[in-house]
Amino acid sequence: MSELFDAVDALVASRSPLPSAEERKRLRQAHGLTLDDVAGALKVRRATVSAWESAKKPTEPRGPEREAYARLLKQLAELYPAPEERADPVLAPFTGASDPAEAGILSAAPAPEAAATTDRESTQTPTSVAAAPAAAPRPARTAGPASTSRRPGARKAAPAATPAGSADPRFENGPLAVVDVEDGKVVAYCTGGLVLDVPAKSLPSLVDWTLKEAKLGQPKLSGPGKDADPLLVLTEAALERYGLPATLTEQERVAGRIPEGHKVIKQLARAQWQLTKRGFGPWARIYRPAQGSERACVQLCIPSWNALDTRHWGAAGQLPPAELARVLGVYADRVMTPRGSTAVTGLELMTALHPPTRATAPDEHGKRTSEHNPGSLGKDPIDPMDWPPCEVPDGHPVLKDLPRFYVRGPQEKLFEESFDWARTLTDAECTLRHLVGLDVNLAFGAGANGLTVGLGAPTHVKAPAFDPKLPGSWLVDLSHVDLSRVKVGKEWVELDGGLLPSPFTPKGVRPEGPAWYATPTVAYAVELGYEVRPLEAWVRYENGRYLDGWYTRLRDAYLATMADLGVDADLAPADFLAAMDGYKDRDPQLAILASVIKATVKGGIGKLRERPRGEGWRPGEPWRALSRPTWRPDIRAAVISRTRINLHRKIVKHAAFTGQYPVAVNHDCVVYAADGDSPLDFLPYRDGKPLPGGFKLGINPGLVKHEGTQTVLWGEEVRDRFDAPELNLARYIKDGTVTDVDHGE
């Protein structure tokens, strides 16, 4: 009889109900589990678990795997209940209309999951952006008498439609507000077109009002994470009202803060508010120590103090309050509430998606404690003196015994940087008419996608066997790799190696002996068909795909923004080039947002190796960033290595198929000589299909867009004028403007 019962139980389990594919993925990521973790527990392949979570065509597990998978998901659902549904962000070009119904409003749907390619590019086609009904004005909330209630009241709808407030009732007015003075009264422009009356007469009372009445903030991005603190953006008029300078003096600008003796800082101190060690600067944080799980912190953004760097934010700091609230609100909705510069926000997004700790399950007394969050950084913080000398920048405490002004060579320093390479044109190329530049979309994001990085401390190994799946730094001689004969796929091909940059050095010159390389660089030498024998290595046996969620969120933000600007991911090559022509003019505000998202990707990777920032630092002494779990120069090196290798792989495949070679490469831009002025004049498309593994036009990360076209005569004239035969023309191909040249490069 027991056998019959077992058979019945198995039959019932074989039909165990499962949540949707999206919910399966959410639950896995909320617990910090990787696909490999789940696959190992259920004894299936990683690709099988990925197929169960596929957004397009999810497969269903069967037999005992289904029962175990259903049990896993049920337990995770108890730990991480599904959040309430949030409305899609609503966008509209600013028209100046007071009624949102007068503006054309579009709703952007997020992009489906990426499909892997040979370069780990994202080649998915996001759902097209469809026109949505005009948003109805939000109902006004009546403010009570100022002397008794001081509740925020809706004054009027702002003219530009922005993402609506959060579905979380704690943050119903959105993640941020732009505080301004209008007709002598202080008002706060929120997202969703809401304007609140602000009763606060001083900065301490403004902070208090924000936390108690404004209902500003943003829900956490992951299960064990923290809710985002409310952000207040202060206009010049608001600064004056609250006793702050409209601009910083030169001395204050250099220091990055106003003096500690300023009267407003004294007001905050009397009200028992504190500032972080950065002081009161463009991105000030005002807080009181947390009481249990309750945080009391407000962040300020001060555009007139250069909080919004014009290199990335353009003229956003000069936008009217409602329009600035729109731009910042969409960024907060699609990426996260800004935490500082784009670089700081990029790094904070990593932590928000993978918090270092989480709460344990309740014990028998119902008490929870803190434990390491699997898949995050910081399980065993690396002491500054335990870092591998090859991975740290000059001035690090590990190098304090080196002589002053000592210059480390390739055998002592890991030097993984982007390409900066150029060559003279051949006689045949001089007969062509144009130089055409291609730019890789979100290149560093594509380099981070699917990359395995170390999560724990490094281990030093002598004469190791190279393992392409093991992240680390390897001392190996790659000078024997000959680009004149390499493997492309499974076949050996003959190339003109003299016309190609070496993939092993940023300057594209062939290495002369042993040097330190990140894993992707050494793996590429093996891929090209050459044996490698490392002399030593620093490897990380505890590893994972830490950056996957970070990449996915930024990718989706970028694709949704570009779709709003009329550039969809599924456009044919000619249509894509046409859509990119003048896309910034369709909505200048969202064009700013696209630029900021790209800067967030690049800056976040760069921030992994933050250098000292003044504060009296001297070489050989530790600096503040070294104490962060996210100070990881090895991860930065691996991402840059993979990004450079991805680009070189395309260059090699393009050369093998077409016989065309680049004349210049600068970071993620590559320039070719061609007879026509369009990428379609030399990219080998056949029936609308690109060369597999080569350059493909499109807006997805890893694909390329047209960077610019100049004439061959322009290139030769510029090189002659500056007496620089190998001037990197990729730097200037976009608009042809060359104002100065560094002859030392």
pLDDT tens column, 299-333: 999 999 999 999 999 999 999 999 999 999 999 99
How far apart (Å, rounded) are the C-alpha atoms in residues 179 and 189?
6
How far apart (Å, rounded) are the C-alpha atoms in residues 745 and 742?
6
**To 10 degrees, what angle do helices 588-607 and 342-353 make?**
70
pLDDT tens column, 106-149: 233 333 333 334 444 444 434 333 332 233 333 333 333 332 23
Q: Quick one: 82 exposed, middle or buried, by C-beta within 10 A (0-12, 13-18, 19+)?
A: exposed
Hey, what are 597's tokens? 């998202």
Mean pLDDT score of the chain: 86
Of 415, 383, 378, give the one whose Cα is nearest residue 396. Answer: 383
Of 507, 506, 500, give the one whose Cα is nearest residue 484. Answer: 500
How far apart (Å, rounded) are the C-alpha atoms in residues 140 and 127?
34
pLDDT tens column, 55-88: 766 788 877 788 888 888 888 888 788 764 433 3
| SS3 state of residue 458 | coil
pLDDT the model gives residue 271: 95
How far apart (Å, rounded) are the C-alpha atoms in residues 453 and 377?
10
pLDDT band at 561, cuts 50/70/90? very high
Are residues 515 and 475 in contact, defined by beta-carbon separation less than 8 angstroms?
yes
Are residues 219 and 227 in contact, defined by beta-carbon separation less than 8 angstroms?
yes
pLDDT tens column, 328-362: 999 999 999 999 999 999 999 999 999 998 888 87
pLDDT tens column, 387-409: 999 999 999 999 999 998 899 99
Hey, what are 422's tokens? 């150029």
pLDDT the model gives residue 168: 85
The upper half-sphere exposure of residue 566, i.e. CA atoms within 13 Å in the direction of its Cβ, equals 15
Q: How confident is the model over 175-187, as a mean pLDDT?
A: 96
pLDDT of 167 above 50: yes
How far apart (Å, rounded) are the C-alpha atoms in residues 347 and 632?
11
Give the H or E element holding residue 459.
strand 459-462
pLDDT tens column, 201-242: 999 999 999 999 999 999 999 988 899 999 999 999 999 999
pLDDT the model gives residue 156: 38
Q: Quick one: 479 exposed, middle or buried, by C-beta within 10 A (0-12, 13-18, 19+)?
A: middle
Are residues 69 and 61 in contact, defined by beta-carbon separation less than 8 angstroms?
yes
How far apart (Å, rounded) are the C-alpha atoms in residues 493 and 586?
46
How far apart (Å, rounded) are the C-alpha atoms in residues 570 and 126?
8
| SS3 state of residue 435 | strand
How far apart (Å, rounded) are the C-alpha atoms in residues 450 and 351?
18
pLDDT the model gives residue 146: 34
Give the H or E element holding residue 524.
helix 519-527
Are residues 228 and 337 in contact, defined by beta-carbon separation less than 8 angstroms?
yes
How far apart (Å, rounded) are the C-alpha atoms in residues 8 and 411?
65
What amino acid is encoded at 355 in this protein? Answer: P
How far apart (Å, rounded) are the C-alpha atoms in residues 646 and 503?
10
How far apart (Å, rounded) are the C-alpha atoms in residues 637 and 519?
9
pTM: 0.80
Domains and CATH numbers, the chain: 2-79 (1.10.260), 152-338 (no CATH)
**CA torsion angle for 451, 455, 456, 462 (degrees, to 10)?**
0
Considering only CA atoms, give the Rg of the chain.
27
Of 674, 686, 682, 736, give the one whose Cα is nearest residue 704. Answer: 682
Calculate the alpha carbon distances from 304 to 72, 246, 606 in Å: 51, 7, 25
Are residues 567 and 706 in contact, defined by beta-carbon separation less than 8 angstroms?
no
pLDDT the model gives residue 615: 74
Q: How confident is the model over 431-441, as a mean pLDDT?
A: 98
